[in-house]
Amino acid sequence: MAAILDPTPDSLAKVARHLADGGIAALPTETVYGLAADATNPSAVARIFAAKRRPSTNPLIVHLADPEDVLRWTTPVDDLWQRLAEAFWPGPLTLVLPKRGGIPDSVTAGLPTLAVRVPDSPLTRQIIRLAGCPVAAPSANPSGYISPTLAAHVAESLGSEVPYIIDGGPCRRGIESTIVDLARPGNVEILRRGPISAQAIAEALGRGNIADRRIRASEDEAQRAPGLFSAHYQPGTPLFLWEQEPPTPAPAHLPLALLHFRRPVGAGESGSGQHWLSDSGDPEEAARNLYHMLRQLDQGQYRAIYAQTAPECPLGLSINDRLLRAAHGLAGEGPPAAESTPH
């Protein structure tokens, strides 16, 4: 079983040595906990894929202690990366750049590009420095399940796979980094929505707007085939989405969980089937609570979860991206009513 370690100087040194020796460990970041290994060591990287049961076609993000290290592992095509690094690093932004030597193909799933980020966790940057290697780290969850935002989440779902988890407390941002593709000269494209908005990126680059590959894809999909969003971050309990009005579900054999974006007027304590992501409707608070809430509801004896989508502010769009991938469909296409439930 995994040991959950307080971030003392001794445990940081111990975990750094373990990584330098080719082991894996879970580390905190400001977004979600990552499952870390030496990115230059193919057998260490293989341990990440095995522990998560991650398909070898899904490339990893490499975490660096300092922005300058980007030039050691990638060959940027222009200076856009520097402008984004100055504006957002350390922080929840991942840059995809042409790969240089020294990183095995398994990290990038054979792509000629490498995804890099400098996380805003002094603990984890210290471990990376002490380990003396770049650190590959996908989110520390079994492939396809909900990402972890607490050390306890990692222990619950990967505890038998990972020897050490550094406890950095709850992740401040709560959803994975924004991924921006800078691999072609002058071209800036968002591959994954996250805490840093397209507008903030456009502003930092002095541009009008930024192409968003993901948004086009998921909006198209949402309209064409609501039940077929690309599955990711999924709870085991079927999850359905609603926008303005909560559905009035049919009586059911097992109760249904209703997840509001904001605490409903007049609601008592969270519980007994009614839950919310934020007391005040603050998107930052909602993002921070999202994965913990989905994990909790998934562990409750619910027949289905009905989650409200976030308002369409920049961070709300990133939350909705995660909800769409977690969803099995829209409310109204929910599970069969109680009558058909076997007793």
Residues lying near ligand TXA in the complex (CB under 6 A) are found at 29, 31-32, 34, 58-61, 92, 94, 96, 108, 111, 113-115, 119, 137-139, 176-177, 179, 191
Dihedrals φ, ψ of 278, to 5°? -145, 140
Least distance in Å: CB of 222 to Mg ion?
A: 21
Least distance in Å: CB of 61 to ligand TXA?
A: 5
| 72, β-bridge pairs | none
Least distance in Å: CB of 302 to ligand TXA?
A: 25
Look at residue 149 and give the partner it binds from Mg ion, ligand TXA, none, a contact being a CB closer than 5 to 8 Å depending on partner kind: none
Look at residue 162 and give the partner it binds from ligand TXA, Mg ion, none, a contact being a CB closer than 5 to 8 Å depending on partner kind: none
Q: Which two tokens stand for residue 106?
A: 């398994």
Nearer to ligand TXA, 36 or 331 (CB): 36
Least distance in Å: CB of 83 to ligand TXA?
A: 20
Measured CA to CA, the distance from residue 40 to residue 100 in angstroms comes to: 12
Nearer to ligand TXA, 145 or 276 (CB): 145
Nearer to Mg ion, 179 or 277 (CB): 179
Nearer to Mg ion, 302 or 321 (CB): 321
**Residue ranges of the alpha helices (H) in the chain?**
9-20, 42-52, 70-73, 80-88, 105-108, 122-131, 151-158, 198-205, 213-224, 283-299, 314-326
Least distance in Å: CB of 139 to ligand TXA?
A: 4
- Cis before 104 (ω within 30): no
Count the site residues for Mg ion by CB under 5 A: 1
With CB under 5 A as the contact rule, the residue among 139, 157, 197, 289 that binds Mg ion is 139
Instruction: Name the residue with tokens 């968002």.
Output: 190
CB contact at 8 A, 291 and 176: no
- Helix H or strand E encompassing 117: strand 113-117
Measured CA to CA, the distance from residue 68 to residue 155 in angstroms comes to: 33
Least distance in Å: CB of 157 to Mg ion?
A: 12
Measured CA to CA, the distance from residue 117 to residue 63 in angstroms comes to: 5
The terminus-to-terminus CA distance of the chain in angstroms comes to 37
Look at residue 94 and give the partner it binds from ligand TXA, Mg ion, none, a contact being a CB closer than 5 to 8 Å depending on partner kind: ligand TXA
Dihedrals φ, ψ of 126, to 5°? -65, -45
Nearer to ligand TXA, 114 or 259 (CB): 114
Residues engaged in binding Mg ion (CB under 5 A): 139
